[in-house]
Amino acid sequence: MSSLRTCLGWLGCGCLSAWAVQSPVAIPINEVESAVPPYTLPDTLTLQSGQRVTTAAQWPRRRDELVRLFEEHVYGRIPAGLPRERGWVVETRTHALGGKAIRQRIQVPLSKGPRPILLDLLVYRPAQATRPVPMFLGLNFDGNHTITHEADVPLARGWVANRPRSGVTRNEARESSRGSDAEAWPIERILERGYGLATAYYGDAEPDFDEGWKQGLRGAVAARKPGHRAQPGDWGGIAVWSWALTRALDQLSLDPAIDRHKVAVIGHSRLGKTALWAGARDPRFALVIANESGEGGAALARRFYGETTLRINTSFPHWFNGRFKDYNHRIGDLPVDQHELVALVAPRAVYIASAEEDRWADPRGEYLSGWQASEVYRLLGQDGLPGPDMPALNVSVGSSVGYHIRSGAHALTPVDWEFYLQFADRHLR
Ligand code: GTR
């Protein structure tokens, strides 16, 4: 059938990734809108008991139920009682970026023990601020040194995805990637608009490969519970990284120069999935931004378009819990879908973004998720997206649920940031 494309491993899927651990299994993939079969979404406003939620006062009960369902069936439970000790400032630069920023590096402990897992939080605040600043907080893909050209930001310490070429030392390779992701993090523009930016490398919390958990937070937690047998509900990588965001927020909240009630959590791609799960779980985040988060993020799982549950669980089994794999061939039985993840952010502001060429992330599935979540926003007295028709390219729509689809490919770009800054001005100012 010409409308269905079978993708052998990752070849031809537009999903080439250095992280993907692949077995050459044939997995059906569809990227043709007219070939999307009909599907029925679970009803966000019906409790599992069958009772309907009709008032704002009834929503918290359904919200708790949905958080539990996402924990049990998708992302896994974050263990109770993880340490939440305060971090320590290792460096403060009062004249960073030519005097525009106050820059701090803070180590935030995620675990206890002789070799604790430490999150290296890099924080920029506008130097001229006279009151507590609103912030953007997001994890980065390749190390704090890649988001800036500043020579004195230390290189990532542990695992990074790209192996050095032969004849090049690890540090030489990392040094050559300094500033390589600076375009995704327009620090000076963010500061100029009156916001601070905090970021940390996701690999600090846990390396992103199948066995990476052994070297990361999950390994450290397991080591403290000898004899503990892994359970299907145990947490996956996305839950670990989302916990790192919660811990980063714990730390930012201690700084009187930061307005802890105005922290936006942002992430791109797998880290967009992570930002959504962090923002859904942790109501302290005032705004949640999911840039091209795709499958396991904003995109509806039941829509057969782009990446599928089977495909993501095959390529990245370590991102989700064990039970999520039960739905590889029966997604219709999953008790939740991703519009309910977006709804968990309500009534706080949420922004979903897509890119036209990023079919793998299913732009329409991302939009529809925001639209479907809008009924909860309206129940809670906010606005939602108006209807199922997608907006034109490069136009931002929505007031509490924001959305745009940018022309171009899968990336977090300065154009996306302009939309986020405008949206944040409305919600965090
Ligand atoms: C892709 C994966 C997506 C997305 C992306 C990324 O290969 O299939 O779900 O997360 O990686 O994070 O870069």
Taking residue 239's Cβ as centre, other Cβ atoms within 10 Å add up to 27
Give pairs for 79-84: CB < 8 Å, separation 24+. 79/221, 79/235, 82/110, 82/111, 82/221, 82/243, 83/109, 83/110, 83/111, 83/112, 84/247, 84/250
Distance 245 CA to ligand 1 centre (A): 19
Contact 94, 127 (CB under 8 A): yes
Distance 270 CA to ligand 1 centre (A): 5
Closest CA to 268 of 199, 191, 340, 175: 199
Contact 107, 119 (CB under 8 A): yes
Domain holding 7, by residue range, is 2-75+293-410
Mean pLDDT of 364-378: 99
pLDDT at 16 over 80: no
Least confident range from 153-162, 180-189, 241-250, 256-265: namely 153-162
> What is the Cα–Cα distance from 251 to 168, expressed in whole angstroms?
36
Of 316, 324, 358, the one to substitute when testing ligand 1's pocket (max ligand atoms within 8 A of C-beta) is 316
Residue with tokens 């839950």: 239
Question: Is residue 106 classed as helix, strand or coil in its secondary structure?
Answer: strand
Of 7, 10, 13, 19, the one to substitute when testing ligand 1's pocket (max ligand atoms within 8 A of C-beta) is 19
Question: Is 107 near ligand 1, meaning CB less than 6 Å away?
Answer: no
Ligand 1 atom nearest 15 alpha carbon: 7
What integer best gives the mean pLDDT of the chain?
93
Distance 188 CA to ligand 1 centre (A): 28
Question: Is 295 near ligand 1, meaning CB less than 6 Å away?
Answer: yes
**Which residue has its alpha carbon closest to ligand 1 atom 10?**
270
Distance 128 CA to ligand 1 centre (A): 38
Task: Please give the full DSSP string across 136-187, using - where no structure is assigned.
Answer: EEEEESS-GGGS---TTSPPP-S--SSPPPTTS-HHHHHHHTTTTTGGG--H
pLDDT at 280 over 70: yes
Question: Is 290 near ligand 1, meaning CB less than 6 Å away?
Answer: no
Mean pLDDT of 140-161: 96
**Which residue has its alpha carbon closest to ligand 1 atom 2?**
15
pLDDT at 374 over 70: yes
Residues designated as active site: 269, 410
Residue 131 lies in a domain: no
Question: Is 160 near ligand 1, meaning CB less than 6 Å away?
Answer: no
Residue 118 lies in a domain: no
Total of domains in the chain: 1
> What pTM does this model have?
0.95
Residue 216 lies in a domain: no
Sign of CA dihedral 391, 410, 120, 216: positive
Residue 310 lies in a domain: yes
Least confident range from 142-156, 212-226, 254-268, 345-359: namely 212-226
Question: Is 294 near ligand 1, meaning CB less than 6 Å away?
Answer: yes
Q: Which residue has the higher pLDDT, 179 or 1?
A: 179
pLDDT at 376 over 50: yes
Residue 261 lies in a domain: no
Q: Tell me the pLDDT tens digit for each residue of 199-253.
A: 999 999 999 999 999 999 999 999 888 887 788 889 999 999 999 999 999 999 9
Question: Is 237 near ligand 1, meaning CB less than 6 Å away?
Answer: no
Residue 359 lies in a domain: yes
pLDDT at 9 over 80: no
Query: Residue 365 contacts by C-beta under 8 Å, 6 or more apart in sequence?
Result: 298, 299, 300, 303, 305, 306, 338
Of 7, 11, 15, the one to substitute when testing ligand 1's pocket (max ligand atoms within 8 A of C-beta) is 15
Question: What is the pLDDT confidence band of residue 113, given thresholds at 50, 70 and 90?
Answer: confident
pLDDT of residue 20: 40
Least confident range from 107-121, 135-149, 159-173, 303-317: namely 159-173
Mean pLDDT of 386-393: 97
**Which residue has its alpha carbon closest to ligand 1 atom 1?**
15
Residue 196 CB burial class (10 angstroms; 0-12, 13-18, ≥19): buried
Q: Tell me the pLDDT tens digit for each residue of 315-365.
A: 999 999 999 999 999 999 999 999 999 999 999 999 999 999 999 999 999
Q: What is the residue type of 69? A: L
Closest CA to 395 of 406, 386, 387, 411: 406
User: What are the start-end ranges of the E strands in 17-61?
Assistant: 26-30
Task: Order across the sheet with 401-406: list the strands.
Answer: 88-95, 101-109, 118-126, 196-201, 133-140, 258-268, 287-291, 349-355, 401-406
How would you classify the pairing of strands 258-268 and 349-355?
A: unpaired
Residue 399 lies in a domain: yes
Residue 206 CB burial class (10 angstroms; 0-12, 13-18, ≥19): buried
Question: Is 270 near ligand 1, meaning CB less than 6 Å away?
Answer: yes
Question: Is residue 429 classed as helix, strand or coil in its secondary structure?
Answer: coil
pLDDT at 399 over 50: yes
Ligand 1 atom nearest 19 alpha carbon: 7
